[in-house]
Amino acid sequence: MVFSYNWLKEYIKLPKPEKLAELLTMHAFEVEEIKKAGKDYVLDIDVLPNRGSDCFSHIGIARECAAFTNSRLQIPKFKLKEDKNLKTRNSVAVEVKNKNDCSRYTARVIANVKVGPSPKWIQERLKVCGLRPINNIVDATNYVMLETGQPLHAFDLDKISNKKIIVRRAKNGEKIITLDNKRYNLDKDILVIADVKNPLAVAGIKGGKKAEIDKKTKTIVLESANFDSRIVRKSSKKLGLKTDASWRFEHGIDPSLTETGINRAAEIIQNIAKGKITSGLVDFYPKKVLPKKIKLDYRYLTKLLGLKIERKDVKQILKRLGFKIIKEEHPILIVEIPTFRLDISLPEDLIEEIGRIYGFQRIPAAFPIVSLIPPKRNFEIFWEDITKNILKESGFTEVYNYSFIGEKEAEVFKSAVEVENPMSVEQKYLRPSLIPNLLKNVIDNFRYFNEIKIFELGKIFPKERLEKRMLAGLITGDAFYQAKGVVDSLLKKLGISNIWYDEYKPTPEQSKIFIWQKERCAEIKVDGQEIGFLGEISPGIFKKTKVVIFDIDFEKLIKLCSEEHEYQPISQYPAAIRDLAVLVPLDVKVVDVLNKINVAGGALVRDVDLFDIYEGEGIVQGKKNLAFHIIYQAEDRTLKSKEIDKIHQKIIKILEENPEWEVRK
Amino acid sequence: MRKPLKIKTKGDKIDVTVPGEKPTVGHLHPLTLVKRKVEEIFQAMGFSVIEGPEIENEWYNFDALNIPKDHPARDMWDTFYLKNGLLLRTHTSPVQIRYMEKNNPPFRIVVPGRIFRHEATDASHETNFYQVEGLMVGKDVSAANFKAIIDEFLLRFFGKQVKSRLRPSFFPFTEPSFEVDMTCLVCQGKGCSTCSRTGWIELMGAGMVHPNVLKAGGINPKNWQGFAFGIGMDRLAMMKYKINDIRLFYSGDLRFLEQF
């Protein structure tokens, strides 16, 4: 909010604008900018949201400055000259339907005014603060708003039917045309100022055309009221109307300020537009607001800030802020809070006041004294870190993608959780999988990189109320076995054994989603549990290039991880390698052959390594050749050739039990 | 992608200026590196690392944190809404409440996590990004304790003499509330265009936990007090690595990611 430096100086002695800005920033509100404006300076002050009620005004800011400089606040007293022959209560009637919507309504009447342009000094001040001068009546109300923080409104009394003002909720279907010629539809959630026939203004927000002040206006009625902040906020949102007045009401205002505001406005109008002020104030104020009392324990102040402030300094600060100390019994202080501080209701609020005026920069750094219990290890993060390290070591680059996907990607997944208020069409849904954005990464990077290895570990949202952590990796190209090797290596390093890969048999639900290329995809299983998938992506959904993805349920994975690692003693005795090649039908799975070899070979087969798969030229049609290194080793002796031959023959015999299998000799 | 140069050395003399064969390495995301560093520093000071859900409800995200409905304070956070009163969390603060509900003080935790803001994207704003929350509650945990811990964090994170200063701010969930500035790294505090010639850069919000928040977590504010803070991790990463656009973190651009 912008403030005029010269205007502030009217109420208090101030240092130079730069110094003032620094002091405000360190003790109250950040000053975003200081700009020269003719002979004046404009300060853009970032008034904190909880201080709108007292600091959206020049007097409020001046009061703040008095608290942290040592100057005294000088607010000139305003003097009204009322006309004894005219009584306000005979000139206008006010009825407030619900005191919860409007806790106070004051009105004054000024007769025989001359509407015209306002004097230069008012126009200048309004302009410096970003408001447009209109006429002397409206300008006076705006001036008082900028000065005191109380918004006011002026009506042409002669245009008000029956000279009666009613503060009520609008009726469904009622309409209003505002001062700037815009039409609005009203309903019962909106508070209006009305006469017996029509709405005259949207309460606290904007005036209507019906009772508009114009050149011919002779008698005005001034409104200075306190409207419920929540209803003004709701109305403002509903109508899409935000004004300097509504902004102040939304933050809440001190009801005592209505009286100050209206008297000040009447005085100014009398000076600049002439007119006779009727005597008396019409004042609807059923429940007077009383100052709050707070008990402050001096020890708590010291304990919370970790800073010892002298008692006399504490009392002086409270005094400079306008707080009254009504009782003192050390270490307790009973403090009375002025009604203009709507934000103060707890001892902690007082401690903040004392601390900031004294200076938060004076709080020393002091380490806490705590017990030496080390924190418990967070296992999710522990395994996450290890997983990421392993993938990095395997040559993958980690990506972070948006948690959102667009319509196109959501279609592939058939169902995705919708965001009610997305920022864009591309972010309309929550991602049900990491895969769509990984595919997008390939498209975006393909110009510069034609071999891509990326992974992401993040949350997906498969259905409403559900979020799940997944690990997904992508390799471009014909990389199925490369990806399989990575998954094997990763799971092994995480201490997981009994990993196997099963053909992907999609459930009827899953079949509807054609991400994976048929017959080129596997379920990754640990014991009996499926923990993820590994396969080629169907060219139906991704055409740019061949791509292999592994997609693992990270939460399931963590449950299986183990740090336990048993060292395998290295045999002192040499190993012997024998090769074995077997011709099998194309549909035979390597794992079945491997299993047969291991079972037949027994404990002395230390390892079986597939080193070649060959089909095509030189091989019988419908068959493929699998070649293995079989590594024989015993822990307690050197195996003799004869022993090895015996086992090797046994293996061959078992393999050839199947008539279609042929061991090459 | 260019194929790595495989040059065999010939003869007795080796031309030492020929570029070496680059091994194929992977890369971790800069936010992962920053997250790990932050966790490491706070764990060294005895803080536990806790995580929480990305989908929240209004109570945990706002009401329990003393941010009532129909109050201008709610405007401070632009929210993504889901059906049935659910939303995407706008800060990691809800986890403070979740932790307090299940744990008795004294304790100290940090909560890293992804958060969401319904804001237009630009070089310093994104729809999803990362924050680290801190919460320490004890019998006499004070603002002075906070200052010591944050100064220690700055020293260990930026690795050099970085000062901090506290100035007044407002958050519904803390009272007193602070804005914490740090020495501008670009000009070492002398004043430059990055810090609008003040010598200070805004770092994070913090404050003493509001009694209403302690109550919402089931902790008696008469017996316990503490501080809380929230640091933007993307911000930390941008300052550490001199990155000027937050959108790079979520772009998946390998030319960016392979620099880390």
Q: Residue A462 CA to chain centroid, in angstroms?
A: 22
- With vertex at residue A1, the alpha carbon angle to CA B167 and CA B64, rounded to the nearest 5 degrees, is 55
Fold match between domain A2-68 and domain A292-362: yes
Q: How confident is the model at residue A4 (pLDDT cuts 50, 70, 90)?
A: very high
Contact B26 A396 (CB under 8 A): yes
CB neighbour list of residue A592: distance below 8 Å, 6 or more residues apart: none
> Which pLDDT score, from 0 to 100, does residue B1 have?
47
In the CATH hierarchy, which fold is given to the domain comprising A292-362? Answer: Phenylalanyl-tRNA Synthetase; Chain B, domain 1 (3.30.56)
Q: How far apart are CA A239 and CA A593, in angstroms?
A: 75
Select A2-68's CATH number: 3.40.50.300, 3.90.1150.10, 3.40.80.10, 3.30.56.10: 3.30.56.10
pLDDT attached to residue B133? 96
DSSP B171: B
Homologous superfamily of domain range A82-284:
Phenylalanyl-trna Synthetase, Chain B, domain 3 (3.50.40.10)
Instruction: Tell me the mean pLDDT in the region A507-515.
Output: 73
Strands A152-156 and A404-405: unpaired
Residue with the larger pLDDT of the pair A165 and A619? A165
- Is residue A461 pLDDT above 90, yes or no? yes
pLDDT of residue A564: 75
Q: What is the DSSP string of A604-616?
A: GEEEEEEEEEE-S
Q: What is the pLDDT of residue A77?
A: 83
> Do the beta carbons of residue B248 and residue B259 sit within 8 Å?
no
Query: How many other C-beta atoms are found inside a 10 Å radius of the C-beta of residue A243?
Result: 16
A251: nearest Cα among A446, A463, A48, A434: A48
Q: What is the ipTM of this complex?
A: 0.93
Nearest to A300 by CA among B145, B66, B222, B144: B222
Note whether B18 contacts A: Cβ–Cβ < 8 A. no
pLDDT of residue B2: 53
Q: Which CATH superfamily is domain B30-257 in?
A: Bira Bifunctional Protein; Domain 2 (3.30.930.10)
The pLDDT of residue B5 is 59
Model pLDDT for residues A55-97, shown as the tens digit of each residue: 999 999 999 999 999 889 998 888 888 988 888 888 999 999 9
Nearest to B48 among A376, A397, A453 (CB): A376
Q: Which class is A379-560 in CATH?
A: alpha beta
In contact, A56 and A79? CB cutoff 8 Å: no
Q: Is the pLDDT of residue B4 over 70?
A: no
- For an interface test with B, the pick among A381, A452, A545 (most B C-beta atoms closer than 10 Å) comes out as A381
pLDDT tops 80 at residue A565:
no
Contact B185, B162 (CB under 8 A): yes
**Residue B141, both tokens:** 């945990």
How would DSSP label each residue in A188-243? TTSEEEE-SSSEEEETTTEEBSTT---TT---EEEEEEEE-HHHHHHHHHHHT---
Closest residue of chain A to B3, computed from CA coordinates: A451
pLDDT at A561: 86
pLDDT the model gives residue A569: 76
Over residues A642-654, the mean pLDDT reads 92
Residue ranges per domain, chain B?
30-257
**Full-model pTM:** 0.89
**Where does residue A28 rank: exposed (0-12), middle (13-18), buried (19+ CB within 10 A)?**
buried
Work out the minimum CA distance from B26 to partner chain A, whole angstroms.
4
Residues A116 and A214: their CA atoms lie apart, in Å, by 9
- Percent of chain B topping pLDDT 70: 96
> What's the sign of the alpha-carbon dihedral B171, B175, B176, B182?
negative
pLDDT value at A242 more than 90: yes
Average pLDDT, chain A: 92
Domain boundaries, chain A: 2-68, 82-284, 292-362, 379-560, 576-663
* CB-CB contact of A308 with A302 (8 Å): yes
- Between CA A279 and CA A416 the distance in angstroms is 68
pLDDT in tens, B156-202: 999 877 899 999 999 999 999 999 999 988 888 888 888 888 889 99
The pLDDT value recorded for residue B3 is: 57
Please give the class, per CATH, of domain A576-663. alpha beta
- Gap from B81 CA to chain A (nearest CA, Å): 5
Report the percentage of chain A scoring pLDDT > 70: 99
Interface subset of A 606-665, CB within 8 angstroms of B: none
* pLDDT tens figures, A163-212: 999 999 999 999 999 998 999 999 999 999 999 999 999 999 999 999 99
A374 contacts on B by Cβ (under 8 Å): 46
The pLDDT tens digits for A394-417 are: 999 999 999 999 998 888 887 899
Q: Give the pLDDT confidence score for residue B165 in this predicted structure.
A: 95
> Quick one: CA dihedral B92, B97, B99, B104, positive or negative?
positive
